[in-house]
Amino acid sequence: MTVAELDTAQKPNVIAGLHDAFEAHKKAFARDPYPSYEARRANLQRLRRALLDRREEIVDAVVADYGSRSRHETTLAEILGVTQPIKYCLKNLRRWMRSDSRHTELHWLPGSSKVVPQPLGVVGIISPWNYPINLALVPAAFALAAGNRVMIKPSELTPHTSDLLFRLLGDVFPEDLISVHRGGIDVGIAFSTMPFDHLLYTGSTSVGKSIMRAAAENLTPVTLELGGKSPAIVHPDHNIKHAAERICAAKLFNAGQTCIAPDYVLVHEGKVDEFVSVFQHYAAKKYATMANNPDFTSVINARHKARLESYLSDASEKGAEVIDVNPAGESFDDAGNKLMPRLIKNVTDDMVIMQDEIFGPLLPIVAIKNLDEAIAYVNDHPRPLALYYFDFDANRQRLVTERTHAGGMAVNDCIWHYAQDDMPFGGIGPSGMGAYHGKEGFDTFSHHKSVFTQGRIAGTKLMSAPYGRFLERFMDAFLR
């Protein structure tokens, strides 16, 4: 059955099916609450093998959902972007699973203390459309590495990919280890009310609040991977060519539909025009044509395209200058949902484009007088998911790192901090809470249980009633 069919007659069954699936996962976890290193390793290897074996099928599904999406970008983000973190988990899993001995004070000896990482149980994952394989399967891989069972609710906006995920994971894993639950927002709402042992949600900040409210009813801990407006600051002395090339590449990757795409750029007021012409130059080098170029990706659907176009008309009406980025001077009339990239000058905070996350190939340029003004601007706005800073001066790099808040940061590049396997990935404030990737990914889906083991001869006996001189002397010694 496809997502389209699910969205009509079968909806009540799908929601009831969620409860059955949850119970099945829970029972299976109770039978095997601590999967061995070998079993976890085998699961990760099976997932990796499936992605490699069915690589073309996966890319076809994602491209079909977008209408037009770069096959290179799709392979990079959805295949390599998942197999690499899996390899990283395989490399580190044995070490992560070890218990951690902790210090025990002299007077508690011969007792000992340790922290034991333990699987949580059943983990729920709600994923969005913009990287529909990566954002479902990377969290799933970390949850499996930590020994959990997983239920996934993929996005209804990428039905081909969601159907493929359902088939692919069904072919490879027992359905009480990892299951996929397709459907629209109502299925998402029902999914978020399940008493998971952990719920990871990736999507918009507004829905993130609903997810947290629903999870609070069950005291289910959440990891929220949200969005926001990620700024790119170019230091006034920095080479504009260098910055514009990196910003252009990151902004046009997946047509700007990346949670960590540079949302807007802060450039010295005397260099705005140079930035515009260098950005145009690099856009033309990367995409000689756009409308029919399979490497330039479509906006996901007509609704999102209309949303982006409304930002442009609102900005124009309020006095912004909108500059086309159209290397071959093409018409986009017959280009489906592809949207011509634009640079936007003379922006002000009352424009919607400077308030909402853009999530498309539009780049506003904020003119600044100096670095302090750029830092003040960023700090005066909600804390973003990412911040980019272009400058080769190490002292100023440190200053910007220390004086601004963002989920993550890249210096002299954009977006690629996401691909550093050994670092956590997550937001701060309205851009999210918690993290996965890196060792932190394993920790997110584990309970770190403190275990104090008492020795055969225990001094604690002397600390219980009837109280006497021993305890008084002991306390005197430590209260000094």
Select 281 or 405, whichever has its Cβ closest to ligand NAD: 405
Query: Is 151 a residue that touches ligand NAD (CB under 6 A)?
Result: no
Give the per-residue contact string, 351-390, with ligand NAD (x = CB under 6 A; - = no).
Answer: ------x-x-------------------------x-----
Select 86 or 135, whichever has its Cβ closest to ligand NAD: 135
Q: Which residue stretches of 36-151 are H helix?
A: 37-53, 55-66, 71-74, 81-97, 134-145
Query: Is 264 a residue that touches ligand NAD (CB under 6 A)?
Result: no
Place of tokens 């009480």: 176
C-alpha distances out from residue 391 to 1, 33, 272, 413, Å: 52, 50, 17, 10
Tell which one of 74, 83, 130, 148 touches ligand NAD (CB under 6 A): 130
Select 7 or 60, whichever has its Cβ closest to ligand NAD: 7
Closest separation in Å from C-beta 21 to ligand NAD? 16
C-alpha distances out from residue 6 to 15, 67, 159, 188, 470, Å: 11, 22, 10, 13, 71
Output the six-digit token pair for 96. 């992560």
Residue number, nearest CB to ligand NAD: 227
Closest CA to 84 of 56, 47, 53, 119: 47
Name the one range near ligand NAD by CB under 6 A: 9-17, 154-162, 290-298, 464-472.
Answer: 154-162
Closest CA to 60 of 429, 227, 68, 185: 68
Distance CA 409, CA 411 (A): 7
Q: Which residues does the annotation mark as catalytic?
A: 225, 259
203 CB neighbour count, 10 Å cutoff = 21
For residues 23, 24, 29, 31, the Cα torsion angle rounded to the nearest 10 degrees is 110
Q: What angle do CA 282, 265, 261 make, to 5 degrees?
A: 75
Name the one range near ligand NAD by CB under 6 A: 63-71, 124-132, 285-293, 306-314.
Answer: 124-132
Around 163, how many Cα atoms within 13 Å sit in the side-chain half-sphere?
17
Distance CA 67, CA 415 (A): 24
Select 223 or 446, whichever has its Cβ closest to ligand NAD: 223
Tell which one of 21, 151, 211, 368 touches ligand NAD (CB under 6 A): 211
Tell which one of 432, 438, 443, 445 touches ligand NAD (CB under 6 A): 432
Output the six-digit token pair for 329. 């001077």
Tell which one of 126, 137, 151, 234 touches ligand NAD (CB under 6 A): 126
10 Å CB burial of residue 59 (0-12, 13-18, 19+) is buried
CB 291 within 8 A of CB 335: yes
Distance CA 319, CA 55 (A): 47
Distance CA 185, CA 156 (A): 8
Q: Which residues face 150 on adjacent strands? A: 123, 178
Inter-residue long-range contacts of 270-274, CB under 8 Å, 24+ positions, other chains counted: 270/236, 271/234, 271/236, 271/240, 272/345, 272/365, 272/367, 274/240
Name the one range near ligand NAD by CB under 6 A: 23-31, 222-230, 245-253, 289-297.
Answer: 222-230
Tell which one of 35, 121, 128, 430 touches ligand NAD (CB under 6 A): 128
Name the one range near ligand NAD by CB under 6 A: 20-28, 150-158, 361-369, 445-453.
Answer: 150-158
Name the one range near ligand NAD by CB under 6 A: 120-128, 233-241, 262-270, 451-459.
Answer: 120-128
Query: Is 129 a residue that touches ligand NAD (CB under 6 A)?
Result: yes
Output the six-digit token pair for 338. 């592809």
Q: How many residues bind ligand NAD (CB under 6 A)?
A: 30
Closest separation in Å from C-beta 228 to ligand NAD? 7
Select 178 or 211, whichever has its Cβ closest to ligand NAD: 211
Closest separation in Å from C-beta 435 to ligand NAD? 10
Name the one range near ligand NAD by CB under 6 A: 66-74, 153-161, 437-445, 451-459.
Answer: 153-161
Query: Is 156 a residue that touches ligand NAD (CB under 6 A)?
Result: yes
Window 178-197: residues binding ligand NAD (CB under 6 A): 185, 188-189, 192
Select 202 or 446, whichever has its Cβ closest to ligand NAD: 202
Query: Is 226 a residue that touches ligand NAD (CB under 6 A)?
Result: yes
Tell which one of 3, 51, 122, 135 touches ligand NAD (CB under 6 A): 135
Distance CA 11, CA 370 (A): 55
Query: Is 200 a residue that touches ligand NAD (CB under 6 A)?
Result: no
Select 185 or 376, whichever has its Cβ closest to ligand NAD: 185
Contacts with ligand NAD, residue ranges (CB under 6 A): 126-130, 135, 153-157, 185, 188-189, 192, 202-204, 207, 210-211, 225-227, 259, 357, 359, 385, 427, 432
